[in-house]
Amino acid sequence: MTSPGHSTRASRPAWRTAVPGVVACAAVASSTELFLHLPKTGGVSMVHTAARAPGWFSVVMRASGSSAHPPCWCGTQGSPKCICGTVADPVAVGRAGATGRHLQVSVGHSTFGQAEWLRRRLVRAGNPAIRTVVAVRPVRDRLRSMFGFYWDALLEPWSDEHLATFSAVWHRVLADRRADARHYLRPDGSIDGAAWFRAFAIHTGGVNFFLTDVFGSPRALARALDRGLVAVPTSRIDAFATSHYGVEPHRANVTGLSLSHPLMVAALAEAEAEFEACARRDDPFDAVLADHLGDAAFRA
C-alpha cells in the first residue's frame, strides 16, 4: 500500500545543498525569518502573503528529497510563473529580490531540528537576530483538513482555471494521488476511511505531519516556545499577516469541496477509531500549545 498523496521517499531535506544561496540572500536582506510549515495549518497562505508584501522577499526550500522539488529563488513559490529553472544563476535572482528587504525562508515540511540547524548556520554567518515562526492548529482539525484535501480533487475535479495555478510538480502529485486513491475506494465507489487513516498513520503522505515527528517530544516543543519559537494559531493568521507583513492575507490552497460531501461524511464516521488513534499521537503537543497560547485562541 502506498502513502496517501505523496511519494513514499523519506523526507530528507534536499535544501541543505541550497544553504549557501540562503546565506547569500540573508547577507543582503534587512532581516531574516524562518518559517516552519506544518501541513494543513494555513502555512501556504502565510508564505504567499509574505511574497506579495512590498517589504518582504520569500524563498521556499523543500523538505522532500526529490530533485523535482528544487528551491524557489524568484519569490513565486514554484508556481507556473517560476523562472528558477530557466536562468543561469537563480541565486542571483534571489539576492536581487532580497536586497534591502525582509527575508522569509520557508523550510517546508521539515523537522524543528532541521530548521534549527539552518537558523544556527545563518547566525554563524553573521545574522544574529533570526526567529522561527510556525503556524499551529489542533491535530483533529488538521487531520480532517488533510483528508478533505486528499479527496477534494478526486471527488469533484478542479476547474482548468484552478489547475492552471498549480506547478508541474503539483500536477504530478495529483496524478500520483489519483493512482493512489484506488487503494481506498471500494467497488461501489465509497471510501474506505479506516484503510486511509491506517495508511496515513504509517506514511503521513511523505511529509512530517505529526508534531511528534517534527519536535520529537512535548518537552522539546515547550522548550522551543520558551526560547522564542513564534507559534501563530490558524485562527489568528489573518491578523498576524496584516500586522507583520503589512498586507491583507493571501488565500492559497483553498479547496472547493467541503467535508460535508456524503462520501467523506460516511468515511469519517466509519473510521472514527482509526482517526482517533492518529489524533492521540499529538494530544500531548496540543496540550503544550494550548497552555502556551491559551486554550481559546489555539482551538478557535
Instruction: Tell whether 160 and 272 lie within a shared domain.
Output: yes
Instruction: Tell whether 22 and 84 lie within a shared domain.
Output: yes
Which domain covers residue 106, as residue numbers? 14-138+217-245
pTM: 0.88
- 189 is a domain residue: yes
Question: Structural domain tally of the chain?
Answer: 2
- 171 is a domain residue: yes
Q: What pLDDT sits at residue 57?
A: 94
- 274 is a domain residue: yes
Question: CA–CA separation, 93 vs 276, rounded Å?
Answer: 46
Residue entry with cell 511574497: 51
Instruction: Tell whether 133 and 241 lie within a shared domain.
Output: yes
Instruction: Tell whether 36 and 121 lie within a shared domain.
Output: yes
Closest CA to 102 of 34, 152, 37: 34
Question: CA–CA separation, 154 vs 90, rounded Å?
Answer: 35
For every one of its 300 residues, what pLDDT tens digit does the chain have, with 9 covering 90 and above? 444 444 333 345 667 788 999 999 999 999 999 999 999 998 888 888 998 899 999 998 865 444 445 688 888 877 778 888 788 898 999 999 999 999 999 998 889 999 999 999 999 998 888 999 999 999 999 999 999 988 987 887 666 776 666 666 667 777 888 888 999 999 999 999 999 999 999 888 778 899 999 999 999 999 999 999 999 999 999 999 899 999 988 876 555 457 888 999 999 999 999 999 999 999 999 999 999 999 999 998
Question: CA–CA separation, 24 vs 5, rounded Å?
Answer: 34
Instruction: Tell whether 102 and 240 lie within a shared domain.
Output: yes
8 Å CB contact between 267 and 193: yes
Q: Domain holding 48: CATH number? A: 3.40.50
Instruction: Tell whether 47 and 181 lie within a shared domain.
Output: no
Q: What pLDDT sits at residue 74?
A: 86
Instruction: Tell whether 76 and 150 lie within a shared domain.
Output: no
Instruction: Tell whether 200 and 79 lie within a shared domain.
Output: no
Residues 6+ apart with CB under 8 A from 171: 163
8 Å CB contact between 5 and 205: yes
Q: What pLDDT sits at residue 207?
A: 81
Sequence length of the chain is 300
- 155 is a domain residue: yes
Instruction: Tell whether 104 and 237 lie within a shared domain.
Output: yes
Residue type, 15: W
- 97 is a domain residue: yes
Residues 6+ apart with CB under 8 A from 285: 139, 211, 212, 215, 218, 221
Instruction: Tell whether 222 and 195 lie within a shared domain.
Output: no
Instruction: Tell whether 268 and 161 lie within a shared domain.
Output: yes
Instruction: Tell whether 68 and 117 lie within a shared domain.
Output: yes
- 295 is a domain residue: no
